[in-house]
Structure 1
Amino acid sequence: MSEILQVSQLGNPVLRRQARPIQNVRDERIQKLIDDLIATAISANGVGIAAPQVSQSIRLFIVASRPSPRYPHAPTMEPTAMIDPKIVSHSAEIVKDWEGCLSIPGIRALVPRYQAIEVEYTSRDGELHRRELTDFVARIFQHEYDHLDGIVFLDRVENTGDMMTEQEYQQRIVNKG
């Protein structure tokens, strides 16, 4: 049975640590953590979540894009566990778009990210995958990947004028009010 985990908030030192590689993907604790991360992301209307966000400093995150109140235009995909991920290559094109974070509630910011990336990761069944991600899903991957290196999205904001509260974001950007 999956459980909803408590999300570490900005200021918790675990969010600033370099996460450790995973030794045994098939370990039952890792498998349970994957299920719990998926349940936690869905419960919080998140499109991704990294293990450090639930105080587990290991190189694992979930990408789970789907429309929600936080991201109404997100594409739908099956929640995917990505273990010991790497960015193999990236596009020259960088795009700024809005991001939020379950560990930094109430704030949105325009964050520059690569428009397309080629990635490698191990899936929960121990298989190595290599694929190209673009647009919003590439953004999710880069955001979660940063968490594994102790970086939060605010670290990538180019100026404070690119930030707003969640309430203003919902009114001005989502509802175009």
Structure 2
Amino acid sequence: MELPDLPAIEAQSRHLALAASPFELHGGLCGWLAGGGAPVREWPAKVLADDALAAPAEGSALDELRVASAAQLADRSFDFALLLPNADAPLVERSGALFEWCRGFLGGFGLAAGAKPPLSDEGSEALVDLAKLAAAQAQDEGDEDDEAALVEIEEFVRVAVLLLHGDCVLAAQHRQRLN
């Protein structure tokens, strides 16, 4: 399943008066799901820790974002995608969005997984690396090496999320099936 387009997510987010960028929202949603949170329609209230937030309408861009993200994380083909600006956007915009995504992810993951999630050594390391990225600031200028580095970082984040989802969700499901 593909993610809905960015303008539709931005419009729905403004309509619901959500105080997070689409990138931070998607990161938070993916963190929530990777940490074991349920893929409920009321996900913005869970991810933003504000019970007063209305649930997105069924079939809306934010609801489609939830459905597609949950499906991508659960799919064994590793087709999970981050919601980020297009590749032709300026480097500062793309890197800033990636760092926002990571900040959202950490918040959502912490809310769902709690203080002591059941992580492998690799998962613990990945979480520390995601925290470093969340603390990073976008640079105004960049060259081809910076472009290549950003592509590698995006791939690292994508794989780290799948690893954390595997530790917290898939491993728990596997243990339940064994019992």
Note whether the superposition's TM-score is higher than 0.5: no
Return the structure number with greater strand share: 1
Q: Which has the higher contact order (CA 8 A, sep 6+)?
A: 2
**Given the two structures, how large is their TM-score scaled by the length of structure 2?**
0.28
